[in-house]
């Protein structure tokens, strides 16, 4: 987009792309509404609880594993082809499920393949909307942008579960006594609705959502074999001028020899006014396409170079500095390097991040809230069937709203804290993982059936904390590893997390089915579960609590490592300024 000749301003492009991204996000989380139609799937195909949990888990798994496929597509071909990919996959996935459900044809294996396609489609829509819009805004607002977008991703379950409940409930259907097919026709119509709405929106977004291209770089003569380049970023008025010769040769700052080009982008203002001169490097996002020649000490963890390489870097002939002490504000937690995917494998921060993600134990509750509701209701009450449907919809809504609010609050709050107090946003990630323990402990260690009040608290906490970790993941990946390989790096961070839904849901399903076999026979109406009481779920949540403890410890180590590196750099910066 050429300044002065563009038909639409960059600001307008940003706003339009953000609005479209919000709509895409609101549809990309449709998999989280699985609980609203899982009972009909179970009835139509004669599945067990383990079958349903496996089907649900496979879709969630491929939402994460799909990053390994979608990430490189986005990095190499951009948001347009990523969204076109999303539209094709969602047509095949949900469209195929519609056909399979209509004829009760294909069985579990076929549905798993189709749900995998729907899961990867969800990933494509998610990543295109997230990465394109985060790139359009300053790194100092990463949390707010990602939190706002992902808040609507969290609302997907509420949106679709309410549509299912009110428009496709099937309550008024007259059962055909000659039909051998169980389950409602309303679910069949709902799957058709999912197919058309998601496919259409992805195609529209492919046309109108745009990632703003950065202007051409300006080469600055640094007086050595290393070249410094500067990019104009964000609004057109955020310009960065060349440093004066006096400033560029000021030896009051440390130097580091670079083996490759160093790139400064004026995209990060740390909560202050945009930088006006190159020497205000600490108001910018420093990106290195290669590692610097800075020496490392063997006593550090492998990942200690993540922040150390973002200290002031200059040519050996003359450092870049500032003569205005009031502007000497260095925020290491908003200064990242663009790391290539292979380099992540040698970073301790990456591994702490991965372990914290893979141990997260919200899935077993989210995907099985319907069976938990059935387990604590009185089977002799004639209104139980109606109450179960209503309560399941209520708890799916609570989880979804909590998810939305958690994403929004964590994004905005983490931006404010990181900009104002120079504290790594991973503190919120650690806090969220610790809070997830509360509902897991409630579900796993209650001596009797969980009360409805405790179930409401559990749904709200699971939703809020799961949402917060999702939003923080997006901005933390940018904080730690930069923008250039964002899609692929997201995949590397999240890929192991894809196995968590399978493990967590299968653990739940195995213990649930075991409890069913131990239950005495009950003369109940069709649609009731045959498992009653806390034995249906408590064992699986005890295991989930232990796995979540690993997650909490890893998230704590992540925060400690990031803060330790940042504080060391702040101390170095302050001592040099003095």
Percent of the chain with pLDDT over 90: 31
pLDDT in tens, 218-263: 433 333 333 333 333 444 333 333 344 443 334 344 433 333 333 3
> Is 422 a domain residue?
yes
* Confidence category of residue 155, pLDDT binned at 50, 70, 90: confident
* pLDDT tens sequence across 8-33: 788 898 999 999 999 999 999 888 78
Whether residue 290 lies inside any domain: the answer is no
Is 471 buried (19+), middle (13-18) or exposed (0-12) by CB count in 10 A?
buried
Q: What is the pTM of this model?
A: 0.70
DSSP 251: T
Q: What is the mean pLDDT of the chain?
A: 76
Residue 531 lies in a domain: yes
Higher pLDDT, 515 or 574: 515
Residue span of the structural domain in which 152 resides = 10-168+182-213+342-566
pLDDT value, residue 224:
35
Count structural domains, the chain. Answer: 1
CATH code, domain with 403: 1.20.1250.20
Concatenated DSSP letters for 341-373?
Answer: HHHHTT-HHHHHHHHHHHT---HHHHTTHHHHH
**What is the per-residue pLDDT for 410?**
93
User: In this structure, is residue 396 part of a structural domain?
Assistant: yes
Say if 475 falls within a structural domain: yes
* Angstrom distances, CA of residue 395 to CA of 333, 403, 462: 37, 12, 11
What value does the mean pLDDT take over residues 134-151? Answer: 88
156-167 and 10-28 helices cross at what angle (nearest 10)? Answer: 50
To which H or E segment does residue 262 belong?
strand 262-265
Q: What is the mean pLDDT of residues 195-206?
A: 96
- Residue 559 is predicted with a pLDDT of 95
328 falls within a domain = no
- Asked whether residue 80 is domain-assigned, the answer is yes
For the stretch 158-169, pLDDT in tens is: 788 889 888 887
**Residue 188: inside a domain:** yes
Q: Tokens standing for 151?
A: 């808040």
Residue 123 confidence (pLDDT) above 70: yes
Which pairing describes strands 262-265 and 228-231: parallel, antiparallel, or unpaired?
parallel
């Amino acid at each position: 987009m050429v300044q002065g000749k563009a038909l639409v301003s960059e600001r307008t492009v940003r706003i339009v792309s953000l609005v479209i991204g919000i709509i895409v996000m609101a549809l990309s989380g449709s998999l989280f509404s699985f609980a609203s139609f899982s009972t009909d799937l179970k009835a139509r195909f004669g599945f067990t609880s383990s079958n349903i949990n496996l089907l649900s888990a496979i879709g969630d798994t491929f939402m994460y594993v799909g990053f390994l496929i979608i990430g490189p597509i986005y990095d190499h071909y951009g948001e347009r082809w990523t969204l076109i990919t999303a539209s094709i996959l969602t047509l095949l996935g949900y469209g195929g499920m519609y056909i399979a459900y209509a004829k009760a044809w294909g069985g579990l294996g076929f549905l798993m393949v189709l749900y995998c396609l729907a899961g990867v489609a969800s990933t494509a829509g998610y990543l295109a909307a997230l990465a394109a819009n985060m790139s359009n805004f300053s790194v100092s607002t990463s949390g707010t942008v990602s939190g706002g977008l992902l808040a609507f991703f969290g609302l997907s379950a509420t949106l679709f579960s309410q549509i299912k409940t009110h428009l496709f409930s099937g309550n008024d259907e007259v059962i055909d006594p000659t039909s051998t097919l169980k389950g409602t026709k309303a679910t069949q119509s709902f799957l058709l609705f999912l197919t058309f709405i998601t496919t259409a929106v992805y195609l529209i977004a492919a046309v109108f959502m745009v990632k703003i291209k950065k202007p051409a770089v300006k080469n600055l003569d640094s007086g050595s074999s290393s070249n410094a380049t500067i990019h104009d970023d964000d609004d057109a008025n955020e310009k960065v001028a060349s440093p004066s010769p006096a400033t560029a040769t000021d030896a009051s700052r440390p130097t580091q020899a670079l083996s490759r080009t160093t790139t400064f982008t004026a995209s990060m203002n740390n909560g202050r006014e945009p930088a006006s001169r190159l020497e205000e490097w600490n108001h910018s996002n420093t990106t290195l396409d290669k590692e610097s020649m800075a020496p490392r000490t063997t006593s550090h963890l492998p990942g200690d170079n993540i922040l150390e390489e973002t200290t002031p870097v200059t040519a050996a002939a003359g450092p870049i500095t500032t003569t205005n002490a009031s502007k000497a504000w260095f925020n290491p937690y908003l200064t990242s390097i663009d790391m290539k995917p292979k380099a992540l494998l040698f970073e301790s921060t990456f591994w702490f991040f991965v372990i914290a993600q893979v141990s997260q134990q919200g899935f077993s509750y989210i995907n099985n809230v319907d069976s938990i509701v059935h387990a604590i209701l009185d089977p002799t009450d004639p209104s139980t069937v109606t109450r179960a449907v209503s309560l399941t919809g209520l708890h799916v809504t609570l989880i979804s709203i909590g998810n939305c609010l958690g994403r929004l609050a964590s994004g905005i709050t983490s931006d404010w804290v990181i900009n104002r107090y120079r504290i790594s946003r991973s503190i919120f990630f650690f806090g969220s993982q610790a809070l997830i323990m509360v509902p897991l402990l409630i579900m796993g260690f209650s001596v009797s059936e969980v009360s409805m009040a405790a179930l409401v608290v559990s749904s709200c906490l699971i939703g809020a904390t799961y949402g917060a970790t999702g939003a923080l993941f997006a901005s933390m990946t940018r904080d730690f590893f930069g923008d250039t390989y964002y899609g692929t790096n997201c995949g590397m961070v999240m890929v192991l997390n894809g196995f968590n839904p399978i493990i967590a849901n299968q653990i739940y399903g195995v213990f649930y089915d075991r409890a069913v076999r131990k239950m005495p026979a009950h003369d109940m109406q069709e649609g009731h579960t045959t498992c009653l009481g806390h034995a249906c779920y408590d064992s699986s949540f005890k295991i989930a609590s232990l796995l979540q403890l690993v997650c909490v410890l890893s998230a704590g180590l992540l925060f400690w490592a990031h803060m330790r590196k940042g504080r060391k750099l702040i101390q170095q910066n302050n001592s040099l300024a003095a």
